[in-house]
Chains A and B, each alone.
Chain A
Amino acid sequence: MEFITGNQAVVRGALKAGCNYVAGYPITPASSILNECVTAFDNGAGTIIQTEDEIAAIGQCIAASMAGAKPLTATSGPGLCLYSENIGFAQMVEAPLVIVDCQRMGPATGGATATGDGDVIFAGNVTPGGYPLPVFAATDAVSAYKLTYLSFNIAERLRTPVILLTSRDIALTRQSVDLDAVQLPPVIKRQWADPDASFSPYEYDSIENVPDFLPIGGPVPVRCTGSIHGPDGLLTNDRHAIDRKLAHLSAKIMDHRHELTHVDADRDPQADTLILSYGVADGAARDAVDELRSQGHRITHLTLYTLWPMPEQAIRNAASVNVTRIIVPELNIGLYAEQLRRVIHTADIQSITRIDGGLIRPEQIIEAYTMAPCQ
């Protein structure tokens, strides 16, 4: 057992996954990820650089990824804004990249040292064009460790940027953890092409498949471009090639959504209420569920670690026939609850929010449960 912060857990997960390139720009509450990586890479085991801004940080990470490295960059909401354009670039060139967003309170500078889960919609829709990317949300240091590791696997497997959300109270709270006890799948590395064969950098036989990789700087010249391109990695005006590439960017994520679904379902088949939680509000939800069950109430609890693509099937499974209402605690104005209403029509969705930088308490959830549901 160790007593570490969520940010330290992120770094440990990244190192375990084989991360070897970190570029970042200091921002509360993400800065200690950068600091920890300086220590971790001090022996020359990886490249660490503090850049002039977030744009340079993610730019270096994308380029290093296309040269074969496994990069990580971490920021908070204001930095995610500056990453935005390059996240679209990473989608287009299909660069594996893990991005950690340690959320803070509110828009703009907001509350740098206060918590929030306000980036949950922004993270999933962070680029123009409208193509999907995986977004995960940690609930504590242990899940931050595991999800960082899994994010690298997914980034490599699907050649995509992946965003992991934490928030101030996960990032900076020191917690007792036993990371050695966390079960992890084997490390996944991107599929490399045969360097002897005639190589096209964006060749796939079916649009949901991922193109084999060769690094820039390797023995076979490789092209990549943020412009719309054909299999050769050069700008194209061919409508068929354009349609195929863009359909591919969607299909390679959406057709593998089952691989991206990470939830924790604690089901009671007799429950009429589902408490659905993610992020730092999950801890209060778990305590509330325990308390309500001890009083004899029948509750199903679902923790979402995957926010995007929305794990619709897992949510429907948890919201089985008996469930008439879903209680969703979150540290924003009810953003994810609003998205759930688009998908779930069989239950009343009751939003619990807190936006002042404090945490939702278990009592707040218990109180919402005991209130008569709206009909």
Chain B
Amino acid sequence: MVETLDIPDIMQADRHDMGFCPGCTHTRVLETLGRVLKKRNLKPQDVCIVSDIGCIGIADRYFTCHTFHGLHGRSVTYAEGLKRARPDLTVIVLIGDGGCGIGTGHLVHTARRNADITVIVCNNFNFGMTGGQHSPTTPPCGLTVTTPHGADAHVMDICSTVTINGAAFAARCSAYTDACEQQLSDAINTPGFALVDVWELCVAHYVGRNKLNPKVLTDLSHQLSLPFDVIARTHSTVPAATSTAPAENAPAVAGITRRSSIRKSLILPRRTEIIVAGSAGQRIRSACGVIGTLVTAANAHAAQCDDFPITVRKGFSVSSLVLSHKPIRNYCLMNPNLVLILSDDGHQRIAQTMDLATPPSVYINDAIIRVDTPRTWRPLPLHNIEKAVGKNAASLAILARLIVQSGMIDPNVLMELATEALTGRHRDDQLRAIAWATRNASSQEGSNP
């Protein structure tokens, strides 16, 4: 024991000075935890006690180590955050049975992630601090202020709950047995998520209404088939928490997006508004994104707003694209100059919000033209263009050709921009589309009514 002489006790309070009711088992559990920490030679700066809400929540003041007292049921989330930020810290949660109810989700998922923390459940079968209401662990027929005729809900098996979800260690004990100290010690020793369900007596509320004493705790464990034992012990070495690097090591900002070194400048009109309306799979967002990227690479301005259902592989896909020689502050389409309708889905979607008779140029996939299509349309031989450039490149090919035909961008400049600025796995498709658009810019195919 010589080597521990210089280490101050982490749990320093005398049981008579603690704020718990006389006879409350919380005192006993804290003393047991204090012995475990002392035997492990842990220094106060090596440990953080995270206390949940309820009577056990006042325990922080009895410890000399780091302490963190948070919200009801959320202690496990704080513990995981602390451990991820400070992987060398021993993080121990003190939570009640009520906290395990309101925070069940956190227990389950923190166990799934196998976060390297220890959770000590001070389980006294009711909400003591608020006056003796039933909790998820109140035994069948247990009398509480909110179950005056006896509890009738199934008892939550906290150990099994975390075990089936990946906890590295789970054990259950009576606070009145020697096994408690061993289980707490084993839990803290365990790399990964460890939980000990410690059964206690709430002398203020639960014991007054129900026959319960240390002996009956053991009987209850048999009755409920919730044995006092180690329930799960794995030898997991999952590195649940990784270190947070210093802020100075944050990734170089320039590394996120490839920057273009193109010096070319585009002279765009004051404001051009384009809508491309089609269906999922026609690569409409991608096509508008390419034009926006190329315009931006040439120091002009673009804004792209997409509209699509949450089921992204089905239904409409509509993108609006605003191009301008000056910064675009208003993304709202005012008077679209060019409308491309590539499918029925897209047609129906934009017909809800705009009068298609107004825009000066409306191009419609010739396969979907119907009697009620606007009279100013021009047919677009989408099928032929898909055959020429491939399905994945067709939308971009059409959009790029119409932009070139409008005179906004010189075809050679567009090709040069594309070659320099485009990256990613669709680059080949995109370059093929732009090349086709620049080659066919003078063709009037698909441009006449």
A residues lining the B interface (CB < 8 Å): 1-4, 8, 11-12, 15-16, 18-21, 23, 28, 36, 39-41, 43-47, 49, 51-53, 55-56, 59-64, 66-70, 85-86, 89, 112-113, 139-140, 169, 172-176, 179, 215-227, 233-235, 280, 282-284, 286-287, 358-363
Contact = CB atoms under 8 A, between A and B. Distances in A.
Contacts of B69: 224-227, 235
A60 B84 contact: yes
Given A15-B253, A49-B84, A56-B109, 19 more contacts: A1-B296, A12-B256, A15-B251, A18-B247, A19-B250, A21-B81, A59-B77, A59-B106, A62-B70, A63-B70, A63-B82, A67-B82, A174-B302, A174-B304, A174-B305, A175-B328, A176-B296, A224-B69, A283-B328
B303 A358 contact: no
Contacts of A175: 301-304, 328
Nearest to A17: B247
B308 to A, nearest CB: 8
Most central of A36, A55, A223, A284 by chain B CB within 10 Å: A223
15 contacts: A2-B257, A20-B246, A20-B250, A47-B244, A52-B108, A56-B74, A56-B80, A63-B78, A70-B247, A175-B303, A225-B69, A235-B58, A284-B329, A286-B330, A358-B332
B82 A176 contact: no
B71 interface: yes
B289 interface: yes
Nearest to A152: B247
B440 interface: no
A225 B59 CA distance: 11
Contact of A56 (B64, B77, B302, B328): B77
Nearest to B294: A3
A6 to B, nearest CB: 11
B329 A12 contact: no
B329 A52 contact: no
Contacts of A215: 86
Interface in B309-351: 310, 327-332, 334
B105 A64 contact: no
B414 to A, nearest CB: 15
Contacts of B257: 2, 4, 8
Interface of B: 44-45, 48, 57-58, 60-61, 64-71, 74, 77-82, 84-86, 88-89, 105-106, 108-109, 113, 242, 244-251, 253, 256-257, 259-260, 289, 292-293, 295-297, 299-308, 310, 327-332, 334, 353
Contact of A223 (B60, B77, B248, B303): B60
B250 A45 contact: yes
A64 B60 CA distance: 19
B134 to A, nearest CB: 23
A127 to B, nearest CB: 12
Contacts of A40: 250-251, 256
A12 B255 CA distance: 10
B253 A173 contact: no
A282 B328 CA distance: 12
A315 B307 CA distance: 36
A209 B248 CA distance: 27
Contact of B250 (A18, A51, A227): A18
Nearest to A227: B69
A314 B337 CA distance: 40
Given A20-B244, A55-B77, A89-B71, A41 B251 contact: yes
Contact of B303 (A19, A63, A176): A176
B113 to A, nearest CB: 8
B117 to A, nearest CB: 11
A220 B89 CA distance: 13
Contacts of A19: 247, 250
A2 B259 contact: yes
A287 B334 CA distance: 12
Contacts of A140: 329
Given A52-B105, A216-B68, A86 B245 contact: no
B106 A176 contact: no
Given A12-B253, A221-B44, A85 B71 contact: yes
A2 B105 contact: no
A361 B310 CA distance: 26
B11 to A, nearest CB: 13
A225 B60 contact: yes
Given A45-B249, A169-B305, A173-B304, A217 B64 contact: no
B79 A63 contact: yes
Contacts of A43: 251
Which 4 A-B residue pairings sit nearest by Cβ, starting from the closest?
A59-B77, A63-B81, A217-B86, A18-B247
B330 A1 contact: no
B250 A53 contact: no
B289 A1 contact: no
Nearest to B78: A63
A174 B292 contact: yes
Nearest to A215: B86
B78 A220 contact: no
B247 A47 contact: no
Contacts of B296: 1-3, 176
A288 B132 CA distance: 63
Contacts of A218: 45
Nearest to A40: B251
A187 to B, nearest CB: 8
Contacts of B88: 217
A322 B65 CA distance: 62
A46 B244 CA distance: 5
